A = this chain, B = another copy of it.
């Protein structure tokens, strides 16, 4: 039998109905699904006839675990026609897809990537605040900061300092030191910050604060996915909270 195809599929930000039609079709046709632990159970359930295998966390698998996932994908494609690797958000943005794509190429296994809604777009929809705005924001930077001593702060901080709107993924546990580092490097302390947890889910929550307040008070890290969204586009929500939320969808929101 010819080898199957591995589909690297974006599961989107959380809400099962923010999956794409193509992803839903592939899940329904899948023989086996390897999914990140944080993918919504309602999304995984769309793979009605597939064997389901939970692998790793949404983000930050260790490289040994990644090598093991790579091997399992190759082995599965030797046995099955439709193999789905289901990743939170979008595979190509903080999804570590390249390691899997390269491993499949080396093994001669066909591979196709299906994009997904990344969390920053879902959080923007929840807030009712656009990442770009005429006359205010024409550049948007997504980054994963690390402020620990093991890595260079310049890896992430320069584009975040220079961009109009920044969205920081996987940064909740370091929020206080990230805010302090940005201020130390010249970002105005009054720069507005929107903190969004559980984007797209029923328990989505947000708060609007400033870099200064975040650097002083920190942020209680949660198990939920959190985004730090930084820039002038959040100033109106900071200064005139009574006019916020704009959108009915935000009636689900409460301060974190």
A residues with a Cβ closer than 8 A to B are 5, 10, 12-13, 15-22, 24-25, 90-99, 101-102, 104-105, 110-118, 121-122, 124-125, 128-134, 138-144, 146, 155-156, 158-164, 200, 233, 243, 246-249
A118 to chain B, nearest CB (A): 7
**What is the CA–CA distance of A192 and B71 in the complex, to the nearest angstrom?**
30
Instruction: Please state if A121 and B118 are interface contacts (CB–CB under 8 Å).
Output: yes
Q: With the chains together, A22 CA to B24 CA distance in Å?
A: 12
Q: Which of B17, B97, B141, B164 contacts A163 (CB 8 A)?
A: B141
Does A128 contact B111, Cβ atoms closer than 8 Å?
A: yes
Collect the chain B residues with CB atoms within 8 Å of residue A104's CB. Answer: 246
Nearest-Cβ distance from residue A52 to partner chain B, whole angstroms: 20
A138-B144, A143-B138 known; A121-B99 Cβ under 8 A: no
Residues of B within 8 A of A91 (CB): 125, 130
15 further contact pairs, Cβ within 8 A, besides A112-B248, A138-B146:
A12-B20, A17-B20, A18-B114, A20-B117, A21-B24, A93-B121, A93-B132, A96-B130, A101-B128, A111-B128, A112-B249, A115-B200, A117-B117, A139-B160, A141-B163
